[in-house]
Amino acid sequence: MPSPPDWLSHLADRVAEQFHATDVLSPLGCHFYHNLALDQWEVTLFASKTEIVGGKLDGVATTSNFSLDLKETFQVFDEVTNFHWQTASLGPDDDLGPHVSVEGLFEGNSVWVRVLSNPPAQFDTGRTLNAYSLRLEDVW
């Protein structure tokens, strides 16, 4: 797949600014897809997992606690046409799980942005926490 257009990175960055961590936010992941049939860009943002390294919790992965400023997220868009909050996973094939989604226009482009409560299972850990030194290290 070719590189995404510049405006797509700008959109992801603006939405990412609306993540407000209650602890030290782990690296954010972003997945995008251009749905040619609808001429719509799908953008999914999520905070990565943190894996504990060492100690009796070695290998345990945790998620970052954060809130999302919905008012400011909506203001990122030129126009909001639809928005939803999915409170739970819809089943074993639901890669997104709980999330907020917003559809609309950004710089004249049709977009569907989703902010996930938890990272999708297929993405590796984004950072580690050394149990002995208590140092956080970003992996990606």
Written as one string, the DSSP assignment of 50-65 is EEEESSTTTT-EEE--
Q: Is residue 140 part of a domain?
A: no
* Number of domains, the chain: 1
Q: pLDDT tens track of the chain, all 140 residues?
A: 568 899 999 999 999 999 999 989 999 999 999 999 999 999 999 999 999 999 999 999 999 999 999 999 999 999 999 999 999 999 999 999 999 999 999 999 999 999 999 999 999 999 999 999 999 999 99
**pTM for the full predicted model:** 0.92
The answer to whether 137 touches 67, Cβ cutoff 8 Å, is: no
Q: What is the pLDDT of residue 20?
A: 97
pLDDT at 1: 58
Helix (H, G, I), strand (E, B) or coil at 75: helix
- The answer to whether residue 120 is domain-embedded is yes
Q: Decide if 84 is inside a domain.
A: yes
Residue 47 belongs to some domain of the structure? yes
Decide: helix, strand or coil at residue 129.
Answer: strand
Residue 16 placed within a domain: yes
The answer to the question of residue 139 being in a domain is no
Between CA 97 and CA 104 the distance in angstroms is 21
In a domain, 102, yes or no: yes
Does 1 map to a domain? Answer: no
Strands (E), 18-93: 19-21, 28-35, 40-47, 49-53, 61-63, 66-68, 79-86
- Determine the structural domain holding residue 95 and report its residue range: 6-134
DSSP 36: T
- For residues 121 and 50, is the Cβ–Cβ distance under 8 A? no
